[in-house]
Structure 1
């Protein structure tokens, strides 16, 4: 499983669920008593679950990274654990949920089966389709270059980071009763005045640092060293255009990442009348 930094998680999940929580309705959060957020990271989803659930509902975060748990623990109780070997008893929760976790696992169905073991009722997964990301930028070549880099990354990565709605297959393989799949578009906007996160991201583009992070994965696919070098050169030029437009207050960017909320009921669990 890939590891993610605090900065990456906060940057990619910033503002998620701020505009609408309609896609979470099938989780029936108002009736929950104990919820587990697996792979909670810095706790962005945990905080949403706690806000939407009754005041006496306990939301617990679980992650394998102690540094991320320390941050998540500022908002909810946390426990260190592996998604495939959760440190909880059978039926310990009435909802087990994850966000952008299954896309990083080689066997999503095995994880969903483990989620079902510790849930007495529902299991849910919020997973993106990273192959369908859409970018609209005031820098003309940014969208084309990002699509080029994304294709190379998808070709080299060894898990299904475009899982999206296909998480249903993992639920079916794990023997869950499928209840719903809802789409939620996470829109990330960059516009003046630019915050520190946006400025940092622009600098990383201009230096090629962001692309360098994915170099090894890209070269696992069909991309050659020469093609990567050509892509990184064009990427850095694009990044300098982004920085230039930021200096004049002209830069604007909108990125849309489609997420799919898949919800299933554990075999034998009774639905509400």
Structure 2
């Protein structure tokens, strides 16, 4: 399973559910009583589920990475997240009995598993009613920018990444096949476009992202995958052009002229566990 830092998850998931909760309509959260978020990471979706479920519902998060679980527990300075239990566990071997929950959900987890079908079967085992997956199609990400080179370089890097990564990060609406193979019924898919917009005044996260472009650190986050499809020379050339693009981004931000829009398509797949 591929792993990510808390900072990486914060950067990539910032604001995801600020205006996209309608995409979760098929989870029927108002009627859920026992909810599990698998691969919860730093708990962004877990907290949304807890906010949308009834006040007396039990919402839990589980993740294999204990560092991310610590970040999830510390995410709410007011202490409200203390009511959400976060437990360590493997998505393919969940530490719960059959039918322990009436909804099991994950976000951007299956795309990072070598055998997503095994996880979906486990979700179906511990759920008595619904299983849901919120998974992106990274092959269809769209970027527009006031820096001419950014869109082109983003596309070049994304194509190399997709060729070099060892899991299916473009799973998207094909999750329905995994659900069908696990025996789930009444499968529905609802697409949600997560738009990340950068414009003046720039947030600290946006300014950090620009600095990471200029230093090449943002590209280095995926160096292993990129070098699986690019030669050493090709990677070095991409990094050189990426850093130059990043310096242009920083320059435009300093002038208050930089704008960027990234749209990531997520497919919310929901299936029902058949009567046992």
CA distance in 1, matches of 2:134, 2:144: 24
Structure 1 length-normalised TM: 0.96
SS in 2 for 1:203: helix
Other-structure match for 1:6: 6
Aligned to 2:268: 261
- CA RMSD for the aligned pairs? 1.0
- Deviation string, structure 1 residues 122-146 (Cα, Å, up to 9, x no partner): 0000000001000111101101100
Bigger drift between 36-45 and 60-69 goes to 60-69
CA distance in 2 between partners of 1:240 and 1:145 (Å): 14
**Would you say the 8 A contact 1:171–1:178 is kept in 2?**
no
Any idea what SS the aligned residue of 2:191 has? Answer: strand
TM-score by length of 2: 0.95
1:83 matched to 2:91? The reply is yes
Give distance in 1, aligned partners of 2:35 and 2:72. 15
* 1:102 partnered with 2:107: no
Gaps of 5+ in 2: 75-80
The SS at the match of 2:23 is helix
> Which deviates further from its counterpart, 257-266 or 210-219?
210-219
Displacement of 1:73 in angstroms is 2.6
Partner of 1:230: 237
Deviation for aligned residue 1:55: 0.3
- Displacement of 1:178 after TM fit? 3.6
- Whether contact under 8 Å (1:35, 1:58) holds in the other structure is yes
Distance, in Å, in 2 between the alignment partners of 1:214 and 1:160 is 15
User: Structure 1 residue 213: deviation in Å?
Assistant: 2.3
- Which residue in the other structure is 2:165 paired with? 157
Instruction: Judge conservation of contact 1:181–1:263 (CA < 8 Å) in 2.
Output: yes
Counterpart check, 1:29 vs 2:37: no
Runs of 4+ in 1 over 4 A off after TM superposition: none
- Give 1:108-257 correspondences, 5 Å limit: 108-221=116-229, 223-257=230-264
Q: Match of 1:72?
A: 72
Return the alpha-carbon distance in structure 2 between the equivalents of residues 152 and 260 of structure 1: 23
Distance in 2 (CA, whole Å) between partners of 1:16 and 1:220 is 30
Q: In 2, distance between residues paired with 1:56 and 1:71?
A: 24
> CA shift at 1:78, angstroms?
0.9
